[in-house]
Structure 1
Amino acid sequence: MKAIGKHLTIDMYGCTFDSLNNLDFIKTIMLAAVKEANMTLLDLSCHKFEPQGLTVLALLAESHMSIHTYPELGYAAVDVFTCGDHSRPDKAVSLLKSFLKPEKTKTTNIMRGDFGSQKDMKPRIKVSIAPLRRVRNTSAKVWSFLRNK
């Protein structure tokens, strides 16, 4: 079965306190990201926490996009989940990065609903433990031989 959705999770580190604590700014860039990614906005829900931080959730016809900010840490957690082929979640992420200007990001791409047909979230390099076991066994034999002499 083909995957039914793409889910991007983005950790953004080193963002400025002011940008992460400004609700109007975050709402504006979320709306711009929705438009840029060719997604359909159904509803936008926001909450500002005290003394700082906020959450903005965009309910989309394609699924959802959210941002949770931790201004005191310079950190933002972003989720973009879309179903179908006509939206471009990568463009939404690029726009958010360009406005928040993180020093460092970590992006995880999850193919939702693939039921194991794709190699999503699996290591790309297979590591075999056998060579390490041979080295360990060889060194044990050498030490045993040296002790007996």
Structure 2
Amino acid sequence: MEKSLGYQTTVDFYDCDDTIIDSVTTIENILVKAAEIMNLSIVNTTIHEFSPIGISGVIVIKESHIAIHTWPEHKYVALDFFTCNKSFDLDEGITWIQNQFKSKRIEKNSSQRGFLDTIQQ
């Protein structure tokens, strides 16, 4: 695998409990606990509730960020993790989040960003 500056993991959660994914307090609590499970260091949290429904938020972590967008009307959540190295095992935290959202299905994708051989030094 080529050396890069960042590693992005996106997770789509389908068939979630719509009341859970439309609560700012619940979303924040779930993401904070997930960050702890994954040994990520939280710097700041911003979660916004839209009217009439839906939530977007970012948790800034020392390792980069966690971002979330919810569509309760579709029982869907888009979540992404960006970290500065591959030493973090996100799987346990992602499974925990899936259980909290009561999601029946997820799709996970990972990619690298900021390839060092293309960055001018």
* TM-score interval for Structure 1 and Structure 2 normalised by the shorter chain: 0.7 to 0.9
Note if contact 1:38-1:86 (Cα within 8 Å) is conserved in structure 2.
Answer: no
Residue in 1 that maps onto 2:79: 78
Give the match's secondary structure for 2:19: helix
Give a deviation string over 1:77-123, Cα, whole Å, max 9, x none: 0001111244323333222112112122111111223468xxxxxxx
Residue in 2 that maps onto 1:36: 37
**Structure 1 residue runs without a partner (length 5+):** 117-149
Higher strand share: 2
The alignment's TM-score, normalised by the length of structure 2, stands at: 0.87
**Structure 2 residue runs without a partner (length 5+):** none
Higher helix share: 1
Identity %: 28
Cα distance in 2 for partners of 1:114, 1:89 equals 21
* Per-residue deviation, 1:71: 0.3
Give the match's secondary structure for 1:30: helix
- Structure exhibiting the larger radius of gyration computed from Cα positions: 1
Over the residues paired in the alignment, what is the CA RMSD in angstroms?
A: 1.7
* Per-residue deviation, 1:23: 1.1
Matched residues, number: 116
| Structure with more contact order per residue of length (Cα contacts < 8 Å, sep ≥ 6) | 2
